[in-house]
Structure 1
């Protein structure tokens, strides 16, 4: 089932990056243009080693994936007659220099009154497959750890 297709008009969101210098010595700033929520520093060391107060493309993908998955699961649960009280979702995006993104692990814990653990896991699997960010990231392995809280 396409996720929410046909319910809303298409939207486009924009972020820009200004990069200065080489990959290893340079740095950049990512600006969330559409929302105007902020500007975030990025660098190769922050991506491949320790964050040091900066973000990375992988962290931004993790944010996108955890929020998209939560929306998709919320819809799956509501469609099954069991809207969630709460969902706590994290996405761990693994980056290996020289290889790229090697995997994404989604972990979700939900409070869903009246739903069995098996039904929750099935809804979470469907959300993982149907979420638009999961669809965009089909080239990487996405694993799921889902349980009721």
Structure 2
């Protein structure tokens, strides 16, 4: 398989707290979605980089786990993941310090041990886990299948 390229873009007009930004994705899933200081730090309508990373990490991890379970011979189930990304002030700036994954799953015919192993492998091996330079935690629950 050759390299896959996906893109996103951002435009910011004005500077600092008074600036207003818009973010878009190649697919059009986001099309000039507003972002800025108010959407990042004051809970105003719009998005922010941490929310986008959380959605990307949750979806990447969930897909990686889905493929891992399929490779192990499982053919039916439901996976739901929430990621909470933490942004902390460090010195004069900010750092993403953690992405906390919470997974709820229903998988037919899997043991709790095999499920935990597959989830742990997906946490380490999904491409966005490899990208993030922060603590990544995982809590999971397996419902009866």
Fold match (TM-score > 0.5): yes
1: CA distance between counterparts of 2:135 and 2:37?
23
User: 1:16 aligns to what?
Assistant: 9
Aligned pairs for 1:67-82 within 5 A? 67-82=59-74
Structure 2 residues without counterparts, runs of 5 or longer = none
Contact 1:95 1:101 in 2 (8 A): yes
Q: TM-score under structure 2 normalisation?
A: 0.89
2: CA distance between counterparts of 1:70 and 1:58?
18
Contact 1:120 1:146 in 2 (8 A): no
| 1:86 pairs with 2:78 | yes
Higher strand share: 2
Q: TM-score under structure 1 normalisation?
A: 0.87
Aligned pairs for 1:1-149 within 5 A? 8-32=1-25, 34-37=26-29, 38-50=31-43, 52-97=44-89, 98-137=93-132, 139-149=133-143
Give 1:39 shift: 2.3
1: CA distance between counterparts of 2:75 and 2:83?
22
Contact 1:84 1:110 in 2 (8 A): no
User: 1:4 aligns to what?
Assistant: none
Structure 1 residues without counterparts, runs of 5 or longer = 1-7
Contact 1:102 1:141 in 2 (8 A): yes
Where 2:16 maps in the other structure, the secondary structure is coil
Where 1:24 maps in the other structure, the secondary structure is helix
Give 1:9 shift: 2.9
2: CA distance between counterparts of 1:9 and 1:113?
34
